[in-house]
Amino acid sequence: MIAQIKREISTMKLIRHPNVIRMYEVMASKTKIYIVLELVTGGELFDKIASRGRLKEDEARKYFQQLINAVDYCHSRGVCHRDLKPENLLLDNSGHLKVSDFGLSALPQQVREDGLLHTTCGTPNYVAPEVIKNKGYDGAKADLWSCGVILFVLMAGYLPFEDSNLTSLYKKIFKADFSCPSWFSTSAKKLIRRILDPNPQTRITVAEVTENEWFKKGYQPPSFETPDVNLDDVNDIFNESGEPENLVVERREGGPALMNAFELISTSQGLNLGTLFEKQMGVVKRETRFASKLPPKEILSKIEAAAAPLGFNVQKHDYKLKLQGEKSGRKGHLSVATEVFEVAPSLFMVELRKSKGDTLEFHKFYNNISTGLKDIVWKPKDDQNEEAAESLKA
């Protein structure tokens, strides 16, 4: 994992663009790496589609323009993302798009002698046909294909290529077997078909997209500076022979991880502590948290007991659990990571986070398991008084 983590950090350090999430600082202890990122509070573009359905064409175009701006800039810096999808597109509090999650990105050093990349990666529904064929591909052209799929999803509310059988899905992608809904404008249909061209040699380029009449409607080029960036500090972090100057103190061993005030606040949306612990346990995204006053081992035992009837295998490590679904879902087996943090004496925060699988299946899992967790969830007195009042009214 070291090479992949270093690549992700290096990539984010190289990219300074208003539509790409900003990395401010990297710190390290002897065993851990801490990355300070820009705070983005508007959620995922995925959630907007999931809650509202398809977007109007003008709104979809606005996001697509920002996505192309970001991707074009990344390519100009020699970086290919390779996992573009709505879940990796965040929105800030002004509604501006931010590309995130460069864990599968490729730098120029990974290009082989034939000028192509050779690692098959990405999310099947969004991946270009040449990537699946595993014969080498141009990372920039593959990224643009993913952008085309995203544009289709924004305007249609569903995927252009979808099938429960992976082989059948790949056949549809290889042939670009899809049809545009009737509500797409003619010019939008033409652009999408040129982007979702299964032949990368004839596929439209990013430069050609930016000159397209449909794309240029209402277009505002981004304004930003491009500072010189070096990776010396990132290399120092990974240099085992030397001690990096910005060492941080690791947290104590022998109990649940102690969460200090800064870390606690950072889990909240902005600095609004009212949203720190969810009042309604059914409202989750890719992770959720709740507070408990029970001992950590009892908390984990109750989570394990609640997950077992739902068909999940449990692995324990210190004050963490890994819940692995036995049945394969839309995106493979659902995997949920659970950890207990000590916030104060006798008060703990429990975090459940989707580590693999489908986000919507994680929502369903959490709704099912929350019934068995009601007894361990701590609620402040104000919340208890509100519930008592509601009961009296009823």
DSSP per-residue string spanning 212-228? -HHHHTT----------
Residues 81 and 179 grouped into a single domain:
yes
Single out the residue in 189, 216, 243 at which a domain terminates.
216
Residue 170 belongs to some domain of the structure: yes
pLDDT tens across 7-22, in order?
767 777 777 889 988 8
> Is residue 241, in this structure, part of any structural domain at all?
no
The reply to whether 107 and 180 lie within a common domain is: yes
266-301: per-residue pLDDT in tens? 555 444 444 444 444 444 567 788 888 888 888 999
Residues 201 and 280 in one domain: no
Assigned domain for 248 exists: no
Q: How many CB atoms are located within 10 Å of the residue 229 CB?
A: 12
347-389 tens-digit pLDDT: 888 888 888 888 888 888 888 888 888 888 877 655 555 554 4
DSSP symbol at 324: E
Predicted TM-score of the model (pTM) = 0.57
Q: Could you tell me if 108 and 147 are in contact, meaning their C-beta atoms sit under 8 angstroms apart?
A: no
Does residue 282 sit in the same domain as residue 379?
A: yes
161 and 51 both lie in a single domain: yes
Question: Residue 173 is which amino acid?
Answer: I
Are residues 84 and 180 located together in one domain of the fold?
Answer: yes
Angle ∠(46,275,319) on CA atoms, nearest 5? 85
Tell me which residue range forms the domain holding 63.
2-216
The span from the CA of 259 to the CA of 251, in Å, is 9
Query: Do residues 325 and 241 touch, judged by C-beta distance below 8 A?
Result: no
CA 319, CA 252: separation in Å to the nearest integer? Answer: 13
**Whether residue 290 sits in one domain with residue 387:** yes
Number of domains in the chain: 2
Say whether both 209 and 276 belong to one domain.
no
Q: Looking at the domain assignment, is residue 228 inside a domain?
A: no
Claim to verify: residue 191 and residue 318 sit in the same structural domain: no
Q: Is residue 250 part of a domain?
A: no
Residue 72 lies in a domain: yes
Q: Is residue 198 part of a domain?
A: yes
Residue 393 class from Cβ within 10 Å (0-12 exposed, 13-18 middle, 19+ buried)? exposed
Of 185, 216, 247, which residue sits at a domain end? 216
Length of the chain: 394
Where in the sequence numbering do the catalytic residues fall? 83
CATH of the domain at 354: 3.30.310.80
Cα–chain-centroid distance for residue 317?
A: 25
Q: What pLDDT score was predicted for residue 382? A: 52
Are 6 and 144 contained in the same domain?
yes
What span, in angstroms and rounded, lies between the C-alpha atoms of 30 and 201? 47
Residue that terminates a domain, selected from 216, 233, 268: 216
Closest CA to 43 of 84, 87, 90: 90
DSSP state of 337: E
pLDDT in tens, 294-342: 888 889 998 998 888 888 998 888 788 899 988 887 778 899 999 888 8
Averaged pLDDT, 26-53: 81
Average pLDDT of the chain is 78
Residue 288 lies in a domain: yes
Which tokens in the block code for residue 132?
């699946």
297 and 211 inside one domain: no
Alpha helices by DSSP H, 267-345:
296-307
CATH number for the domain spanning 32: value is 1.10.510.10
Q: Does 203 lie in the same domain as 98?
A: yes
